Amino acid sequence: MSTAAVASVPTWRRPGRLVASLAVLVVWSLLYLVLRGRDTLPLGETETTPLHQSFNHLSDSIASNRNSSPLFVYFFNYLQIWMTQFVTFVQSLISQPGFGRPAPLIGWLGVLALGGFLAWLLAGWRSAVLAVLGFAFIGWQGLWTEAMDTLALTLAAVLIAVVIGIPIGIWIGLSRKAARVITPILDFMQIMPTFVYLAPLTLLFLIGPASSTIAVLIYSIPPVIRITGHAIRSVPESTTEASDSLGATRWQTLTQVMLPMAKRTIVMGINQTTMAALSMVTIAALISAPGLGQTVLQALTTLDVGTAFNGGLAIVIMAIVLDRTTTAAGEGTERTFEHGLPPRLRWGVAGLGAIVTAVLVWESATFWWANTFPTGHSIGPSIVSGVASASTWIQDTFSGVTNVLKNLISGGLLDPLQTLLTESPFWLVIIALTALAAILGGRWAALSTVVCLLIVVGLNLWQNSMETLAATLIATVLTMVFAIVIGVAMGRSRRVDRIVRPTLDAGQVMPAFVYLVPFLVLFGASRFTAIVSAMVYAVPPAAKVIADGIRGVSESTVEAATSAGASTWQIIHQVQLPMASRALALATNQGLIYVLAMVVVGGMVGAGGLGYQVVNGFVQDRFIGKGLAAGLAIVLLGLMLDRISQAVASRVDPSGAR
């Protein structure tokens, strides 16, 4: 039994593949020594090619057709106007002057009261206290208006996402056919690095609330659709059948059986959509979305770590408040119908709360003091200067340690790979990568690799793409090292899992931007900062997949190995890891996609590569075309990495995992 279990090594770990891959790398390196510097397709930072200029023209012609093309006149423009009006309406409620008033309708006092009351109603008093204290603290940081802009944009997007997403989710939950059509679209929406679709959206919807809201929708609507579908599908058939047997119509079964039973899970979907929306609202600062993202973005581009930290902290607090409230609301739906207060008392308290809230909202609409957050005692400036000097101090004091780390990774890992990729002739890189893809992933992986890379060549951004690829690969390797250590520890011990998992979950809800800030404080602006923040962003999802894979290894196999006298280390690397190899491959896939998304964002803090070109496209008009091309190149790299890692995952012997 134990020998059989230990011997069941999945096929892809056969030494043949490994040796062949190494051989490719060796040959490539040798050829590099001979051919170095030839056909490397360089392009200066400020140079553009005819292709990029033609993209510029394309963008100009779209702009000039805006008022003549029927597609714009009858569709995009309406969508744009409608979205803008809706978002402006929400903004004038809490963040911006509107309705002919010099200030938002509901001031800080009203928002605090309303936030606390709603959090209490939906989630309970703990969430209410958290919401009030959290928002008050953000105001104290001197970021009230920015935070309210972020909140307004997030709420507007979530509202639209829920109104559109839940019906679609119900539809894919009820119809397999719909699920088959819609799921790949959702996959695509989620796999695309968020950076990439910002620029094309501004072409269609101009810079402003409409394009940022649509960008946020693209990123944040998949969770609520997916999870609603899943919730509907998980309603036990025995229950729906019982309802049918009593003569219920489809509508009755849906509204009285399925939706009530799925409610809790659907709220979880709304939670995920809210967090995704918040994350994207901050990133949409790149296309001028107002709010905290703007604060952080401007600070990042001027490397003002103090301000970036202050803004990042506000985003984190907002994330925690929104996450806790929506999570507790999901748990609360079950609580209220069982042990809630007696209904009469509950209504009484709710009514009282509503009256108090209404009075406070009225005050905030009427009196200046209750409308504009008092700035007299703001803690913001102290945070900014404190963090700035702390950062200087840390970088001065620990520069020994941090520099060693930085140089070890940059010089020891990143530079050799980046040199190999950028200094080899482009055709050699394509041949070598295609060969690797063929060996590891098979025919189709090789085909997508060669196609993707050839298009990247055609986009005239070869060097930048190779820089991004190098950083992505190194960050993924490091991510996997950490993810395996954490994942194995979690998979083997329930206790570790209980302690670590909430941290990982919390890490995943944070907007991507925020990750850059602490590492910017530690390491300054560099490629290394981008790599480390990409790791922090990508380790949680990868570690969770690995932990589940390790736990999936059948207990009896582990028991058999233990009884055969295997040591803990032997069990991990000879039994559990090989048998969880499918999970490892899937985790690598996840890791790659997350890392790529973040490495690109890192372009803003000195990581260069495609990310920098994208950002540059937002900033300077004449680089719009180059930025668009860079966005396309990112999509292609992502597609290539996804195809290869998916192919590897599907080749892993499924009998290895349970």
Q: Applying CB under 8 A, which residues contact another protein?
A: 236, 238-249, 252, 256-257, 260-261, 263, 337-338
* CB closer to another protein, 262 vs 652: 262
Q: Counting every residue, how long is the chain?
A: 658
Q: In angstroms, give the least distance from the CB of 232 to another protein.
A: 15
* CB closer to another protein, 253 vs 472: 253
* CB closer to another protein, 50 vs 342: 342
Distance, in Å, from the CA atom of 202 to the CA atom of 390, rounded to the nearest integer, reads 38
* CB closer to another protein, 167 vs 236: 236
Q: In angstroms, give the least distance from the CB of 260 to another protein.
A: 5
Q: In angstroms, give the least distance from the CB of 167 to another protein.
A: 21
* CB closer to another protein, 74 vs 337: 337
Distance, in Å, from the CA atom of 114 to the CA atom of 1, rounded to the nearest integer, reads 63
* CB closer to another protein, 238 vs 568: 238
Q: In angstroms, give the least distance from the CB of 200 to another protein.
A: 43
Q: In angstroms, give the least distance from the CB of 257 to another protein.
A: 6
The alpha carbon dihedral of 131, 136, 137, 138 has a sign of positive
Q: In angstroms, give the least distance from the CB of 240 to another protein.
A: 8
Q: In angstroms, give the least distance from the CB of 251 to another protein.
A: 11
- Each residue of 458-488: b (16+ CB within 10 Å) or e? ebbbbbbbbbbbbbbbbbbebbbebbbebbb
Closest to 628 in 3D by CA, of 59, 152, 170: 59
Q: Are 538 and 613 in contact (CB under 8 A)?
A: no
In the numeric block, which tokens belong to residue 335?
A: 């609580």
Closest to 571 in 3D by CA, of 558, 580, 552: 558
The alpha carbon dihedral of 151, 154, 155, 156 has a sign of positive
Q: In angstroms, give the least distance from the CB of 329 to another protein.
A: 16
* CB closer to another protein, 187 vs 241: 241
Residue corresponding to tokens 């703007």: 294
* CB closer to another protein, 68 vs 245: 245
* CB closer to another protein, 45 vs 241: 241
Q: In angstroms, give the least distance from the CB of 239 to another protein.
A: 5
* CB closer to another protein, 64 vs 249: 249
What one-character-per-residue DSSP string does 118-165 give? Answer: HHHHHT-HHHHHHHHHHHHHHHHTT-HHHHHHHHHHHHHHHHHHHHHH
- In order of 71, 72, 74, 82, 282, the CA distances from 78 in angstroms are 10, 8, 6, 6, 25
SS (H, E, C) 305-329: HHHHHHHHHHHHHHHHHHHHHHHHH
Q: In angstroms, give the least distance from the CB of 332 to another protein.
A: 14
In the numeric block, which tokens belong to residue 190?
A: 């989620």
Distance, in Å, from the CA atom of 286 to the CA atom of 305, rounded to the nearest integer, reads 18
